[in-house]
Amino acid sequence: MVALQESMDDADLERLRADLAERVGSTRSAGLVLDVSALDVMDSFSTRMLLGIVNVAELRGADAVIVGIQPDVAFAMVQLGITLEGVHTALDLEEGLVLLAQRRRKRAR
């Protein structure tokens, strides 16, 4: 589980992406939850960075889910034109973990 901070800039996110790609392997993580509930804005740049983190984690074999997009943030993202196609999102950490468990079961079948 990784919680993103409001003050994180692109350089921090890039470091996070590299760090997570490595740690998904070293900890043999099956799932990654990205908690963005602290973010008051998700513009196109931070969204692109976030999608990059999700893609890298999934290529490394972990399921990734984004949780905690705030209602106001979601509203602004829609107006901006951002769509998170192909990305799994959930309301909060709890729902995110349920989603990961479901995906894991589906994979095992």
Partner 1 sequence: MTEVRVPVTHESDVVVVRREVRTLASTLGFSSGELAVIATAVSEIARNIVVYAKRGEVVLSLVENGARKGVRVVARDYGPGIPDLSLAMKDGWSTAKGLGLGLPGARRLMDEFDVVSEVGKGTIVTMTKWSR
Kindly list the residues in this chain that would bind partner 1 in the complex (CB under 8 A).
6-7, 9-11, 40-45, 47-48, 70-73, 75-77, 79-82
Residue whose structure tokens are 């399921």:
63
Smallest separation (angstroms) from partner 1 to the CB of 91: 18
On whether the CB atoms of residues 66 and 37 are closer than 8 A, the answer is no
Smallest separation (angstroms) from partner 1 to the CB of 40: 7
Smallest separation (angstroms) from partner 1 to the CB of 43: 4
Q: Which is nearer to partner 1, 11 or 108 (CB)?
A: 11
Give the span between the Cα atoms of 30 and 45, in whole angstroms. Answer: 27
CA 100 to chain centre: 12
Q: Which is nearer to partner 1, 80 or 91 (CB)?
A: 80
Smallest separation (angstroms) from partner 1 to the CB of 62: 24
Q: Which is nearer to partner 1, 38 or 98 (CB)?
A: 38
Contacts of residue 40, Cβ cutoff 8 Å, sequence gap at least 6: 6, 70, 72, 73
On whether the CB atoms of residues 39 and 71 are closer than 8 A, the answer is no
